Structures are given as structure tokens and as C-alpha cells.
Amino acid sequence: MPNQEFDLVVNGRKARVSVDPDTPLLYVLRNDLNLKGTRFGCGTGACGSCTVMLDGHAVQSCDTPMWAVQNRSITTVEGLGTPEQPHPVQQAFLEEQAAQCGYCINGMMVSIAALLDKTDEPSDAQLLAALDRHLCRCGTHMRILRAARRAVRMMKVGK
């Protein structure tokens, strides 16, 4: 299939790419837009490492084709905050030392941020549901949950 042009808004900036419509969004983010925070994990949408927000909803970018994202807003972990001003979720994960190897954490932070954009005070069940599609082999699950809870408190104070 020939390449097609796609208009996107990625982390608040307009972008235009020319790719095959079936190209996974993950490949465009990493290879064409040089956004390396979104990780390639399994390639089948099962591990969560590639999670981004698509119009505010957490989705796995490895199995999201470009034809599904035309004129839509995408937020990657880079779009959450900056090193100088991290998003409350990023700050909470730092403070709780929730990352071990760090490979899966970016997708987890995006999922928690997407939940907090919709829900001011999510329950533990909602936090766990947001993290359910994420695989982590490092064993920091309790720190990850503590970080998610801390982010909830930080977001509450910030409002």
C-alpha cells in the first residue's frame, strides 16, 4: 500500500508524517518523531510499555495503526511534563522510587495520568484497573501503587 500523509497533534504540537496507513503509531512516534519514551515491548498490545494517550484515553500504540489516528491528539510520556516541571504522576513515581529497570514505567505513568484526567479521586480498584494491562518483571508493584496513590494526592493539592 502506498504511503499516505497523516496530520497529528503530538504533545501539543502539530505533526505531519507520510507512512503506510497500517504502520503502528509506535513506529511513527519513535522513528519519525524521535520520541523514544514510548517503548517497544511485545508488539501485540499485551505488555503496556508502548501506552500513549489518544484523545485522553490510554491506548497501546504498538497495535494502533496510523489510519486510526488521523487528526487526533496524542500524548506521550514526554508530553506529560518536563525535567524542570514534571507532571505530578512523574514526580510521584520519582519520589516513590517506583522504577527499577524503567522499561515499563513510562506506559504506566501515561495510564495513570489518563485516569487522573478523568477521575479526581480514583479508588484502588480503579488504579489497579488502569495498571492491569502493564507487565512489570522488576517486582516494584507496591511502589508503583504507592506512586499512583501519591499522584492522586498531589493532583488534589494542585487543583
The CATH number linked to 50 is 3.10.20.30
Instruction: Answer yes or no: do 13 and 71 share one domain.
Output: yes
Per-residue pLDDT band at 139 (split at 50, 70, 90): confident
Residues 6+ apart with CB under 8 A from 123: none
For residue 29, what are the CA distances in angstroms to 64, 119, 154? 12, 27, 29
73-96 confidence digits (pLDDT tens): 999 999 999 999 999 999 999 999
Residue-level pLDDT at 31:
97
Query: What's the predicted TM-score (pTM) here?
Result: 0.93
How far apart are alpha carbons 74 and 121 in whole angstroms? Answer: 24
Q: State the average pLDDT over residues 65-78.
A: 96
Query: In terms of domains, do 12 and 52 share one?
Result: yes
Q: What percent of the chain has pLDDT over 70?
A: 99
Give residue 145's pLDDT.
Answer: 94
Q: Check residue 157 and give its pLDDT.
A: 81
Give yes or no for residue 159 having a pLDDT over 70: no
Which of 57, 79, 101 is a domain's end point? 79
Q: What is the largest CA-CA distance in the chain?
A: 50
Query: Hey, what's the cell of 31?
Result: 522513528
125, HSE (Cβ side, Cα atoms, 13 Å): 0
Q: Looking at the structure, do residues 153 and 109 belong to the same domain, yes or no? A: yes
Q: What is the spatial distance between Cα 149 and Cα 156, in angstroms, rounded to a whole number?
A: 11
- Identify the domain containing residue 150 by its residue range: 88-158
**What pLDDT, on a 0 to 100 scale, did the predictor assign at position 138?**
79
Percent pLDDT > 90 in the chain is: 82
Whether 104 and 55 share a structural domain:
no
